[in-house]
């Protein structure tokens, strides 16, 4: 990516990550395959303008003020009633609204930026997209020498408000936007039942651990994580390249989405066409049936997720 807004960080092992201030986006992630060939495993575009024109709005972006769906765009807390714009088929509020954090120009934080770390800040005004309270948000990405990309988000407010942040990167471990069918996905959690509008029903379907998720058809699944000590919450691997990602998070749920609304209208890096099931979004977040995450003045919202990259050297050529 040649865009002048791009910020690049790297570690001593050659792993490289790139970011844009637009949406505090994680746009590129170069990791080696079993033969030592580095390739970019994130779906996206070679030019910043393409992110604004794309049909899929969330490639690599920080999603907020509230990721996921808020049913009917309404929330009542005591005497307080919040009404949010219905940007999901005119029925529900999705990912913070039409002009959510994914479209904001975040400010780089100079004191939080180094060879292996980049920081962004955003001030969201009271009333923006219908949310109460002035909200100050910080996101820090750190690429460690242990081949981990650490995503850390914090937020504070001057009024009681709703906050739920995540990153919406789409992964494909082959390094190209091709079908995910060759990947293997394991989640250490129980499935949250959904209705036809992708809202939780309250039913929790217990699964053996870890559970292998088939990567095909329509995937918009949420899992309540078990957080087993010493084990990842989620593992995505691609035997052909040997690449893998282990995900560890402090969030309650991971939402998975394989881009099944993608129709091929977005043409990304390497002129790859983005169809359904060519990238997997892994979105750790707060998701409890009929309960939203409130943050009060004096409190700090926190989210920490670790993406640990690995290579299976078996069958190395």
Candidates 95, 274, 283, 303; catalytic one: 283
Beta-carbon contacts of residue 9 (< 8 Å; ≥ 6 apart): 16, 17, 18, 19, 114, 115, 116, 117, 118, 141, 142, 143
Instruction: Round to whole Å and give the CA distance between 50 and 201.
Output: 36
From the number of C-beta atoms within 10 Å of its C-beta (0-12, 13-18, 19+), residue 86 rates as: middle
Active site residue 183: no
Identify which of 163, 151, 219 has the alpha carbon closest to the alpha carbon of residue 187. Answer: 219
Among 92, 95, 168, 183, which one carries the catalytic annotation?
168
For the question of residue 283 being annotated catalytic, the response is yes
Q: Between the CA atoms of 261, 265, 269 and 271, what dihedral angle is there, to the nearest 10 degrees?
A: 130
Phi and psi torsions of 308, nearest 5° = -105, 120
Alpha carbon distance 102, 97 (integer Å): 10
User: In the 8-state DSSP scheme, what is residue 61?
Assistant: P
Length of the chain: 317
Half-sphere exposure of 105 (CA within 13 A, CB side): 4
189 closest CA partner among 173, 177, 205, 174 = 205
Nearest to residue 95, comparing CAs of 165, 160, 43, 153?
Answer: 165
User: How large is the C-alpha radius of gyration of the chain?
Assistant: 19
* Active site (catalytic) residues: 168, 283
């Amino acid at each position: 990516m040649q865009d002048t807004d791009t910020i690049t960080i790297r570690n001593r092992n050659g792993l490289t990550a790139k970011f844009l201030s637009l949406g505090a986006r994680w746009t590129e992630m170069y990791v080696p395959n079993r033969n030592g060939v580095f390739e970019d495993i994130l779906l996206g575009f070679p030019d910043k303008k393409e992110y604004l024109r794309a049909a899929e709005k969330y490639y690599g972006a920080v999603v907020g003020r509230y990721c996921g769906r808020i049913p009917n765009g309404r929330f009542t807390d005591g005497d307080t009633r919040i009404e949010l714009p219905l940007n999901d088929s005119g029925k529900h509020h999705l990912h913070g609204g039409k002009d959510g954090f994914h479209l904001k120009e975040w400010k780089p934080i100079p004191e939080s930026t180094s060879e292996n770390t980049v920081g962004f800040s955003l001030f969201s005004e009271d009333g923006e997209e219908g949310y109460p309270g002035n909200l100050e948000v910080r996101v820090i990405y750190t690429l460690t020498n242990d081949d981990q990309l650490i995503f850390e988000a914090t937020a504070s407010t001057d009024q009681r408000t709703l906050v739920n942040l995540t990153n919406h990167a789409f992964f494909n471990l082959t390094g190209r936007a091709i079908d995910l069918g060759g990947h293997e996905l394991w989640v250490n959690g129980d499935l949250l039942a959904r209705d036809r509008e992708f809202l939780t029903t309250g039913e929790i379907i217990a699964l053996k651990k870890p559970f292998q998720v088939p990567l095909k058809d329509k995937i918009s699944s949420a899992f309540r994580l078990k957080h087993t000590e010493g084990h990842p919450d989620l593992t995505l691997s691609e035997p052909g390249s040997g690449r893998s990602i282990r995900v560890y998070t402090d969030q309650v749920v991971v939402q998975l989405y394989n881009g099944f609304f993608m129709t091929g209208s977005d043409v990304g890096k390497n002129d790859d066409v983005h169809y359904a099931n060519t990238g997997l979004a892994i979105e750790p977040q707060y998701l409890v049936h009929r309960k939203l995450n409130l943050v009060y003045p004096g409190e700090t919202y926190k989210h920490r997720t670790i993406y640990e990259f690995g290579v299976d050297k078996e069958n190395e050529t």
